[in-house]
Amino acid sequence: MNTKLRKLILASAMVLAAGTSGVASAVDPFVLPNPDNNTNVTLGLYPDATGELREAYLMNGIPIAFKYDDFWSYSGPLLESIQTNSPTLIPESTFGSYNFSTGTGVIDINLTSTAQGATNVVSLPPPGPSGDLTFQDPAELDNGDPIGGWTCNWGGSTQACTFYNDDGTVASSYSSPSGDINGVTTVGNLLTYLQSLDPSFTIPLIYADYNQTGSGDSLWFSAQVQIIDPLTGLPVASWQLDSTTNGTWDETDPTYNYGKISFLGDAAACAADPWDPVTGEGCAGVTTDGADYVNLEHNKGSGSADFMVFADTMDLSLFDPSFLWVISGDLGCIPGITSPFLGTEDGGCNTNGAEEFGILGGVGPTVVVPEPGSLALLALGLISLGAIARRRNHS
């Protein structure tokens, strides 16, 4: 066995069939590829969906992840497509599968949901800490509301959402969350949950499943996570996801994601159908090995993770467990944004689909593991890589 050591950032996914019951089930974790754990990944600069050069992880000439302020944002469809079409680049035996389901009834902790009365009560059976962990109920988003954008916050003493019309200026109708939001979300509970999956996990991994009714529409999105002292009501730390790298939440400079994206092996073919940020479709670049990745959807409500994001400095073990973990997000048409895209129908705006956000699993601080290796060997005790996923306990 090769004993050369590499560093890994680990992430686990909770995957199960909706409607099942039971206590706990072990599922294969997946590993997010980066330059330290995969020699096919390089750190470089690449134009994002707006054309702005941005720090990125590149594989086969494709940006599998962009750095947005404090967060790394991975594309689920790109990872899955590379693993399917060029499996030697991300061997499933080493990195796990990126083909898994998400959503209410599947993921333990949902930040948003269209299911009326959904809760976030997670049962932790032994071994390890047992009992129930309670998190704030998901914000209820009604996919029938005629909206172009929304702002929501989750986890704090209040849960508030506002919807906006299709030019982002006028508040629209909104079905408010249920009166009982089931309390707050504490750092201690969230850390306990993450470490029940794997003792090394201290950083939440957040996912987004976008659901646009248009074929390739792209979306504006920005977010902020704060750790708040409940005694003072003041934040003690924060992390931002936006397009300006300055450690401050710039709501008027949100990220703009790829919608239906292609990466082609032929430069002439790519130039003939270039990426169009207004329609959210087209070819964004040429692959290194000549492979074609055609019409990869990020916005179709696939019931899987379109994007997976984490801030590598969000180590919850560094904070008082009584502090609150609060996330705020703006999606779609947002007041105050000036952009050439907003003058075009649906440019950057929500098209009434119901987006889902949740906590997919955890990320550990830098961990040393053998390379090459397999998840099977690691799970046998070579190192604590395997994550135990908690199934929802359906009554």
Q: Write out pLDDT tens, residues 261-288.
A: 999 999 999 999 998 887 888 999 999 9
Grade residue 387 by pLDDT with cuts at 50, 70 and 90.
very low
Grade residue 395 by pLDDT with cuts at 50, 70 and 90.
very low
* 200-228 burial: b if 16+ Cβ within 10 Å, else e: bbbbbbbbbbbbbebebbbbbbbbbbbbb
Distance of CA 278 to the CA centre of its chain: 23
Q: Is the pLDDT of residue 18 over 70?
A: no
- Nearest residue to 221 via CA among 69, 18, 109: 69
Q: Write out pLDDT tens, residues 67-86.
A: 999 999 999 889 999 999 89
Distance of CA 205 to the CA centre of its chain: 6
Asked whether 60 and 289 are in contact (CB, 8 A), the reply is: yes
Asked whether 163 and 172 are in contact (CB, 8 A), the reply is: yes
- Nearest residue to 33 via CA among 6, 2, 3, 55: 6
- Nearest residue to 213 via CA among 354, 356, 353: 353
Continuous H helices in 20-154: 76-85, 92-95
pLDDT (mean) for 78-98: 91
Cα–Cα distance measured from residue 219 to residue 255, given in angstroms and rounded to the nearest whole number: 8
Asked whether 146 and 353 are in contact (CB, 8 A), the reply is: no
Distance of CA 273 to the CA centre of its chain: 28
Grade residue 235 by pLDDT with cuts at 50, 70 and 90.
very high
Q: Return the bridge partners of 122, or none.
A: 133
The 8 Å CB, 24+ separation contacts for 290-294 are 290/265, 290/266, 291/60, 291/85, 291/86, 291/265, 292/262, 292/263, 292/264, 292/265, 292/266, 293/62, 293/78, 293/81, 293/82, 293/85, 293/262, 293/263, 293/264, 294/262, 294/264
Asked whether 114 and 143 are in contact (CB, 8 A), the reply is: yes
Cα–Cα distance measured from residue 90 to residue 74, given in angstroms and rounded to the nearest whole number: 14
pLDDT (mean) for 112-136: 78
Q: Write out pLDDT tens, residues 146-173.
A: 567 778 888 988 887 777 765 555 555 4
The reported pLDDT for the residue numbered 167 is 54
More confident residue, 92 or 279: 92
Q: What percent of the chain has pLDDT over 90?
A: 36
The reported pLDDT for the residue numbered 118 is 80
Q: Is the pLDDT of residue 139 over 60?
A: yes
Identity of the highest mean pLDDT range in 178-182, 332-336, 388-392: 332-336
Instruction: Work out the mean pLDDT of the chain and round it to a whole number.
Output: 76
Q: Write out pLDDT tens, residues 7-16.
A: 334 443 332 2
pLDDT (mean) for 55-63: 96
Total residues found in the chain within this entry: 395
Cis upstream peptide for 372 (omega within 30°):
yes
Q: Is the pLDDT of residue 370 over 60?
A: no
More confident residue, 41 or 387: 41
Q: Which residues contact 314 (CB under 8 A, 6 or more apart)?
A: 70, 203, 204, 225, 239
- Nearest residue to 205 via CA among 81, 389, 6: 389
| Vertex 299: Cα angle to 259 and 70 (nearest 5) | 75
Asked whether 378 and 1 are in contact (CB, 8 A), the reply is: no
183: left (phi over 0), alpha (psi -120 to 50) or beta: left
Distance of CA 58 to the CA centre of its chain: 18
3-state secondary structure of 43: strand
Among all chains, which residue has been given the structure tokens 């948003």? 112
Q: Write out pLDDT tens, residues 172-198.
A: 544 444 445 778 999 999 999 999 888
SS3 content of the chain, % helix, strand, coil (to 5): 10, 35, 50
Confidence (pTM): 0.82
Grade residue 113 by pLDDT with cuts at 50, 70 and 90.
confident
What is the C-alpha R_g of the chain?
Answer: 20
Identity of the highest mean pLDDT range in 78-87, 141-150, 227-236, 356-365: 227-236
pLDDT (mean) for 363-388: 38
Structure tokens of 1? 């066995």
- Strand 71-75 relative to strand 62-68, pairing: antiparallel
Q: Which residues contact 15 (CB under 8 A, 6 or more apart)?
A: 27, 100, 101, 106, 389
Cα–Cα distance measured from residue 89 to residue 19, given in angstroms and rounded to the nearest whole number: 35
